[in-house]
Structure 1
Amino acid sequence: RLPAGRRIAVLTASGGFGVLLADAASAQGLTLPRLAEATQQRILQAVAFAAPANPVDMTAQVSSRPELLAQVLDAVAADPACDTLLLQSANAFHVPRLRDVFLAALTQMRERHPQRLIVLCARAPADVRRQLDALGIPAIEGIDAACATVAALATLGMQSAQPSTVEATPRTPLAVEAFATEASAKAALAAAGLPVLREVVATTRDEAVAAASAIGFPVVLKIVSPDIAHKTEVGGVAVGVRSEGQLIDAHDTMLARVAEKAPGARIDGVLVVQMAPAGCELILGTKTDPVFGPMVMVGLGGIHAEIWKDVALRPAPVDAAAADAMLRSLKSFALLDGARGRPKADVAAAAQAIAALSR
């Protein structure tokens, strides 16, 4: 059962827990709409001194009479204002009498509302968890964790409601040689439809000079080797090369430095690359998840990628519209959107690149 949106109804037997849950839910981007007047009246008919608006404080009265808990749950479940019911109970499932009250009410709920998503914020022993699992009701321990779970389910539900327009067609796997070097990997990406900067693999100094003249200065030089994973650590990168003289110096210095620091590495040449202007860096990636299958990722890139871990993930393939939504979900999207006078980035081009990688 996946929710259609981020609207939740919070039900507790304590007003204080209701406030804590409301704050945690808001921090996760969830909303707590006011329940309909008819719903509130049904709640008050069951528990006259309840707080019925949302969060719903059912008071401890529901702990003594299971039919009251069932009545309140039924009233809220029937209200279309909310996509998910979040029921909090700190330790009820560890108290035999209270456990029976809650299980009886939740069993009635599942019979009356088979498609309703109900999430428990509660601790529960293993035998009770098995009963809740059979009812299709997840029990999450901890207020923040429960709200994060509901938010994740809402995201998944909203994505499922808007399936990708891209047909997931089988592709011939790339040969392992495609990833031997940066140059061969980017050639494979270019063939898949991702834009790459102009670049040439030069095996001699003269070829490097000719490549730079054809591409246009400034350029970047990078060592090309299947044995060197991190080029900067062996002096295998030179940026901002702006003339033929600088290129010759950088080329010769690089080869000598790499030979000294990585004497056993195979050298296929030097990559001469068009130097991009300053901008906002993004990181794109894929992996095959054992549960969700092929996934595509985008996030803030460059030196900040591992620090901020600001990423968006979707099952592949995605279309340009879904890729655009991924970008806009990033905390760092403001950097792409011209924050503090920065030039606006070409978000549409980034979305197309994500879509191409996902295919």
Structure 2
Amino acid sequence: MQGSEGELSKHSTTHSIEKEQQLREMLENDPLFDVIKDTSLEEILFGEEYLYDLEEKLWYSTPEVAEWFGINDGQLRYYIKPFNEYLFDEDSPTTSTAFRLNVTSILKLRMILLLKDKYRVKGLQRLIGLDGEGYVQSAPINTKATKEVSKIDNTLEQEVAFLKSMMEHVLGSGLFEFQQGEEGPEIKIKEDYLANLIQEHVKHEGEQDGIKLLQEQAASITKENQELKELIEKTSKANQELKESLERLEKDRSSEKGDVAIQIREKQIESELRNELRLEAVKEWTESNKQSFFSKLFQADRIELEKESFIHDYIKKHLNDRLTKAINEYRVSEDK
């Protein structure tokens, strides 16, 4: 009888380790798990007994899951809606009124509840990359470059508005018209109109007044033409700055995509390495700490604590060197 109990205890411990490993693999590269990992919340997440009785191919109702979490069904549904796409995949039998959660969905929802007080719903959505309706957002653009382009857009819009006002004023005087030149449209003086205008002034106010008016109008035309030329040059410069800013923006966005891919892969390498070190530690512990039947029977809790402490120290001792080596090898392979 005692031998059967010992075998059962050993089988249960082995099953728990294997089950925890499976659960960790489900959360590999999950953004919320990256936040919880190596904190006290990780121990809470994997320390809940109901997890080890879940079947991977089964779907569970919200009342069942709410009872495991120690909350009511309404509270659980409140935290499901903002994270719809994060929690459910295409194969989920969930409808608009009836939610069904598999093991992965339950783990994700539990992490949301563990982090909700610190990050709130909006903060968690930003961590995951969701919009306010629970759907995945497009990749964010470079904020600094966007502001720079926006500033240039506003300046260019003001310059174009001023240019339009100037052109309306010039053409409204009746002295000018557009003509097609060799290098594009040109503003030309209406000589006939100007001659008639001068004759009218000479006729009514005398020749001296006509000459004076002609001089004033010629000076005004010269000034307006110079202002128009300067405005065209400024507009051309603004267009060039806008083009350069757009090119920088595209370059920054391409660079960000590459950086994000590298960061994700390095996180994945770290996660894989932690799992590998954990398995090594369990194996080494098992080989070097063979316990008698009575020790396992009466000191199971203490043995389990010592084992977890050994695993933690083992990972801490070997992780840095192994991780540095693995990431360096990955970066070398990427450069080739």
Q: Which has the higher helix share?
A: 2
- How does the TM-score come out when normalised to structure 1? 0.26
| Structure with the greater alpha carbon radius of gyration | 2
- How does the TM-score come out when normalised to structure 2? 0.27
